[in-house]
Chain A
């Protein structure tokens, strides 16, 4: 059965919506395959606007890995804005992929990547527009299998009613294994229907199927236990780890959209995982161990990617890029190779203590000089010990002084507010730090136009971190501390006028907290908010705190729990957490000990440079740290062109 493109029905609606180009597809390096020639078909969604979702590396990698399989087809779909949603409902146009504009419902699998919990309502819109029942239990053999992935999938319980399955961890190998199971099941004539394929997926131990687990509650609302409700289904589901990054050099052909997106650059992931051990950082906890891509692998991906995309900037991605064991060789080698081609390099995440000015100069040698951004995260030395962010103010001042001396005029500093044990004093120290940055900059450069922007986010306790037991700070306290901080910044006019301050109020963080550490009962809240019009909750102009509070009150209070119970309540050591049966490899006892260390303001070293501290991941997952230095160098390539990173002899005369 072939599937028709919905484009003829969509096209007349496009002149009536804002930024229609985001719905037409046609990206460079996109793949459109013959529907009938494919045995397994995936629709991949990033549940946010196209401009945010298109550059997402996870979706891009899986899209390419799947499409490289001869009999597999993968297409992409994104959240449509409310203006198009209204028209699609009015004209009966279903949720479509941007590649060949095929209806999402026609695919075998619908994979959704959740980088943030605030995309949950957008999943419901997409399912509903697609004509797929929003409740997994109402789906039939005609509906795709809805699979969640991404960091939020490490606690998928709040969306358990809406998804059929979740995969924890790295997706490259997991999607291929799921594809194999689905292919075999279809070839056998779909024995046992939907139930059987979900059971086959679950029994691998690497795919979580929420419906096969029953959650039992204690009278006080806490979870008593979570147990499989059928044979063939394991008690615990483990995360996936791709060990050899050089064997997975994706994306090889990064997508380049016609529309403007939030990241206008080509990205190469230079390592995965982080063992710095910042206690607030879910990414650093769930992606262990550290696995570096080799310098040769990085060089090959950059060369190939620039030829395939034409981007003017290469982002060297990871959770803390300056920590790559050969970062100096990588940046110098790339800057040499692309001299004169207007190709700049950037390191989106850099630690103050791993940064030096040689590195900064390599980054800006061949193009635009990007800003410098550092993340001390906490204002006071004390709170930085609590969160295990071991950078000192002296480190910061030394680094920014070097930068200002080398010609930079502006630095950006990231912080969090609402951290465990935090006091007003800890937050007010942020103002002192920013002022010291300005003072140092003026002194070193002898100029007055030095700027420092402080950007402050609300802290949200996340599953699988030492802070998973912590009480989230209430929005009123966060807002009050931010007000006091603003006053402190402005108290000295001569310094304050060179300090910019960016922050969000505490309310969205509280809802993110509900969705992060919630259990299945929170699914009712998500659905109620969505039915009440909730969309694009990650966007301040669409987010409604009152709607979430009202929905939480209506749905949770009859069950004897409430918004505060899920967010501002501190958990005890022995409480069963909603994600305890989902195995990130971290030993729960180690996490608890690290939480106690945090309360005692005790730091923890990085296992890349000190002995193993027994977080549990490597023995549980059969993995090991994979770091250099390799001592190798970038592969030499013939000199690149003038004014372009590509050389094309066919163009020039003789």
Chain B
């Protein structure tokens, strides 16, 4: 049976969806698009859709991955177009490839996060990030269902740098929900770009911001906007390798 791997983006107001919301929306879109889905057997059959580490609620993404299984061969580009047409604006299918062996989870070990901090000057942010990188360990508290949990953020962060923002948004191209990403240009905006390993416990953009509060007392005046820019394995220089590259190479 054919398997297809998809990269999709979660943009604009769609970042407020939870993973469950996305999964439901996606499964219905597959049905509307007429995709010949494979279903599990049994009392309560489910379409065969495998998700890989979804971005948290409230966080946008340019690099989410999912794998689907079909019962009739499907053209990847036709699937991309058909699915993108029926998904809501802000859930955008960017690429579809046929799976050629291996598994997606084994090709993903880290993410690049971009965090916009309106009202935080790049200098102030740079100081905080330097203090963070200089520390050997930065413990933060996170509220979970089972109460407070302390995690060390520092080891998961492979690199972090600061860019200057003029209210730009990361999705300058193909954004289908751009109207909901309007930025307040009156505020200076520091942008943090960090490569974070997907360790256990998972370190999220929120945790990195909590760490900046711990080391440098940095408290953003308005909620930050985080976006996952890429996922993949780390190469020797600490850069991310596109997880769909092996499938694409096999196709050529």
Contact = CB atoms under 8 A, between A and B. Distances in A.
A641 B36 contact: yes
Given A25-B13, A652-B75, A8 B182 contact: yes
Interface string B114-155: 000000000000000000000000000000000000000000
Given A258-B21, A367-B45, A26 B14 contact: yes
Contacts of A446: none
Interface string B23-63: 01101111111111111000111010000000001100000
Nearest to A647: B34
B34 A641 contact: yes
Contact of B28 (A7, A11, A309, A368): A309
Interface stretch (B82-90, B233-241, B244-252): B82-90
A260 B20 contact: yes
Interface in B76-109: 78-79, 82, 86, 88-90
Nearest to B2: A653
B67 to A, nearest CB: 16
A652 B73 contact: yes
B223 interface: yes
Interface string A326-339: 00000000000000
Interface in A633-653: 641-648, 650-653
A651 B78 contact: yes
Contact of B32 (A14, A27, A310, A643): A310
A368 B40 CA distance: 12
Nearest to B26: A310
Interface in A605-654: 641-648, 650-653
A339 B71 CA distance: 16
Contacts of B184: 8
B43 A16 contact: no
Given A16-B223, A367-B45, A310 B28 contact: yes
A258 B14 contact: yes
Interface in A10-29: 11-12, 14-16, 20-21, 23-28
Nearest to A645: B31
Nearest to B72: A652
Contacts of A23: 16
Contacts of A644: 30-37
Given A312-B31, A648-B35, A643 B70 contact: yes
A26 B89 contact: yes
A342 interface: yes
Interface string A170-193: 000000000000000000000000
A311 B174 CA distance: 28
Interface string A417-439: 00000000000000000000000
Given A643-B47, A650-B78, A653-B73, A307 B89 contact: no
B45 A342 contact: yes
Contacts of B86: 310
Contacts of A8: 182, 184
B82 A648 contact: yes
A25 B36 CA distance: 29
A256 B86 CA distance: 12
Given A25-B13, A651-B74, A369 B37 contact: no
Given A310-B32, A652-B72, 10 more contacts: A7-B13, A24-B14, A25-B13, A310-B28, A643-B37, A643-B47, A644-B31, A645-B31, A651-B33, A653-B74
Interface of B: 13-14, 16-18, 20-21, 24-25, 27-39, 43-45, 47, 57-58, 70-75, 78-79, 82, 86, 88-90, 177, 180, 182, 184, 222-223
